[in-house]
Copies of this chain bind each other. A is one copy, B any other.
Amino acid sequence: MPSPIEIYILGSGSAIPTLQRKHPAVALRYEGECLLFDCGECTQLGLQKAGISPMKIKRIFITHWHADHFAGLLPLIETLHMLGRKKALYIYGPEARRFVDYILELSYLSFGFKIKAKDVSIEEKERIVNEKKYYVYSFPVRHSVPCVAYIFQEKAHWKMNPQKLTELKIPREKIRKLKARKKINLNGKEIRLAEVAEKIEGRKIIYSGDTLPVKELFEEAKNAVLIHEATFKYKRDTGFYHSSIEEVCELAKKYGVRKLILMHFSRRYKKHASLEKFAKRLFESIIVAKDGMKIVV
């Protein structure tokens, strides 16, 4: 069984938060680690409600520097400092270094841990994290200011077939070598990994903050879980900067998104149930996010 990937919707609202929908923030838990995508106001309270220690967060991915997507960063950093953090914190985003510098100018504290801001490309997809079991990529989208989406890509792994291993009499100590080199020589006979194991493709979760619908992002989201903004219900309302449920559902259907999670709703939509009803008619495999929701992939 692969480890679960847990997605926590800490805030599902947009620029003006409401009591029901706070500023955007999404936590992803995987193998004991926590990745945070956007960090609007009240993110640390969202983490508390979800029972996630902020100390588990190693990396924060900011889609763009509008306050609703980062206003919780400085208070979160100060909390980490007061909790005695020692491990470095990585913050990604377009122009991350410039903005993180300004944020740190707002503090008298000299923090007990390193804060490493990393600029990401707004021109092309970029691999920004290469961990043992996953990658993270940034992916340019289209908003009123430099803005990216992020792709969490679990690495593929091989699931060994014990029956085949026995049949071919492969000793236990050779298995690691076989996994690493994809083939080994055993008593003069070449054995390929694919003969004794099945390749399991990794799961893919995409988080997009504010954006117009970008076709290339939906191509990227084929068979993936896509967390996407849908500030408005109708295409006619989106203007130049945002997406609507109508548009996102249409593209999700067209490009074969496995599971669509919508968030970043305008405060004009007061009834969750009616948003949900509207969205479910347009795309079947959909979740209309709520603050405090947990989704296991």
Query: A residues touching B (Cβ–Cβ < 8 Å)?
Result: 15-19, 22-23, 40-42, 44-45, 48-49, 65-68, 71-72, 74-75, 77-79, 82-83, 99, 102-103, 105-108, 144-145
A15 to chain B, nearest CB (A): 6
> Does A145 contact B83, Cβ atoms closer than 8 Å?
no
**Cβ 8 A contact of A48, one of B18, B48, B66, B144:** B18
> Does A45 contact B17, Cβ atoms closer than 8 Å?
yes
> Does B41 contact A72, Cβ atoms closer than 8 Å?
yes
State A108–B144 Cα separation when bound (angstroms): 10
Copies in the assembly, this chain: 2
A129 to chain B, nearest CB (A): 25
State A72–B74 Cα separation when bound (angstroms): 10
> Does B71 contact A67, Cβ atoms closer than 8 Å?
no
Q: Which residues of B contact A67 (CB under 8 A)?
A: 74-75, 77-78, 106-107
A102-B102, A108-B145 are known contacts. Are A45 and B19 too (CB-CB below 8 A)? yes
28 contacts between A and B (CB under 8 A): A15-B78, A15-B82, A16-B79, A17-B75, A17-B79, A19-B45, A19-B48, A19-B49, A40-B75, A41-B41, A41-B42, A41-B44, A41-B45, A41-B71, A42-B42, A65-B106, A65-B108, A66-B78, A67-B74, A67-B75, A67-B77, A67-B106, A68-B78, A71-B72, A71-B75, A99-B106, A103-B106, A108-B145
Q: Which residues of B contact A106 (CB under 8 A)?
A: 65, 67, 99, 102-103
